[in-house]
Amino acid sequence: MTIRRHLLAAAALALLAAAPLAQAQSDTVKIGVILPMTGQQASTGRQIDGAIKLWVAQNGKKIAGKNVEVIVKDDQSLPDQTRRLAQELVVNDKVVALAGMGITPSAMATAPIATQSKTPLVVMAAATSSITEASPFIVRSSFTLPQAAVGIAEWANKNGIKKTVTLVADYGPGFDAEKYFADRVTLNGGQVLEKLRTPLRAPDFAPVLQKVRDAKPDALFVFLPSGQGAAFMKQFAERGLDKAGIRLIATGDVTDDDQLADMGDVALGVVNSHHYSAAHPSALNKKFVADFMAMNKFRPNFMAVGGYDGMRIIYKGLEASKGAGGEALLAAMKGQVFESPRGPVLIDAQTRDIVHDMYIRKVEKKDGQLWNVEFDAIKAMKDPGKQK
């Protein structure tokens, strides 16, 4: 590094470290949300933005006598942009909390800023297990891939599926899904014939689906990030894999409520595991779905619930800290217990990660529409990725 770069880095650090002082003097508390509003992950941004709007409409814009302002920025799911926007939000806007994070690389890029500025960062979407270990200021309201992958692996073992092939997106959450699915099915006597991966950006499913066909497994296990499920399903059907007797099992990211209604009958009967279904039969969820649809005109998916619960964590935290950010806000986020539209939730005070029920669901048609219908659950599941 040159002297100039050293000086610049030191100046940036000083600005970040000064942020909490500046926040305390204001009568407005600002929450900085960074989401992919455009680009490949835009459905995640649209869902979480819709959920935040609903939360604010229901809960108002005053906490502890201060005005609340939510600032939403579009990072196009480009981690360099996420980092730059986070820095601006902390230094210029003096936000008390950062939130959003559509993909794992965005969360990882922002973690050092949360640490240096002591700004709590609520991860509402990204789901690689290790994210919460990247900064002591990260709290997660989404889920983890090990939670989802273990759920469906257990189901496969109990339901006569012996030989599997895995297919995952080639980055953090995909590696978690692949590892935790394979470890669990093999522990219980199953077999993984092949492990396939597709790129995060612009994946082409044709070559991997040919490999799946040739391997002739009992089932194909799939994890793809939210937004890719419909394209995958289309190819799965076009290549005749549904007719070739290869059962499709997945994490609920693939049978995403945002796209499920348009997937067609190829999705019918797909068993998958996840923490949220728009068909979750609680009174709270029925109200959440109705209010969300009235406001946004589309069905909420698991990303929306991550956003809604993340706002809950921030609001209740700010109430307890009387609008202060930093360590006080972080402390008030840890250990929160509440009923979410997904079911009962706890923010584990030690790991800052979410503990919730992991549901086993089957895609069924009801009143002409497809839904993930829950039929079993692993209760109060911690992240298996942290139980080393």
Residue 5 CB, nearest distance to ligand PHB (Å)?
30
**Do β-strands 163-169 and 191-198 pair in parallel, antiparallel, or remain unpaired?**
parallel
Pairing of strands 343-347, 97-100: unpaired
Nearer to ligand PHB among residue 255 and residue 321 (C-beta): 255
- Closest distance between ligand PHB and the C-beta of residue 244, in Å? 27
Q: Which is nearer to ligand PHB, 19 or 123 (CB)?
A: 123
Smallest distance, Å, CB 104 to ligand PHB?
4
Judged by beta carbon, residue 106 or residue 164, the one nearer ligand PHB is: 106
Q: What's the rounded Cα separation, in Å, for the pair 40 and 24?
A: 37
Residues 6 or more apart in contact with residue 260 via CB below 8 angstroms: 229, 267, 299, 363, 370, 371, 372
Which residues of this protein are in contact with ligand PHB, per CB under 6 A?
A: 103-104, 125-128, 173, 225-226, 253
Q: Which amino acid is at 260?
A: L
Which residue of the chain is nearest ligand PHB when measured via CB? 225
Instruction: Report, in Å, the least distance between residue 292 CB and ligand PHB.
Output: 18
Residue 307 sits at φ, ψ, to 5 deg, of: -70, -45
**Nearest CB to ligand PHB, comparing residues 116 and 255:** 255
Task: Name which of 23 and 166 has its Cβ closer to ligand PHB.
Answer: 166
b/e sequence 29-63, b meaning 16+ C-beta within 10 Å: bbbbbbbbbebbbbbbbbbbbbbbbbbbeeeeeeb
CB closer to ligand PHB, 100 vs 225: 225
Q: Do residues 274 and 254 make contact, with C-beta atoms less than 8 angstroms apart?
A: no
Structure-token pair, residue 124: 């509402």
Shortest Å distance, C-beta 128 to ligand PHB = 5
Q: Residue 250 CB, nearest distance to ligand PHB (Å)?
A: 11
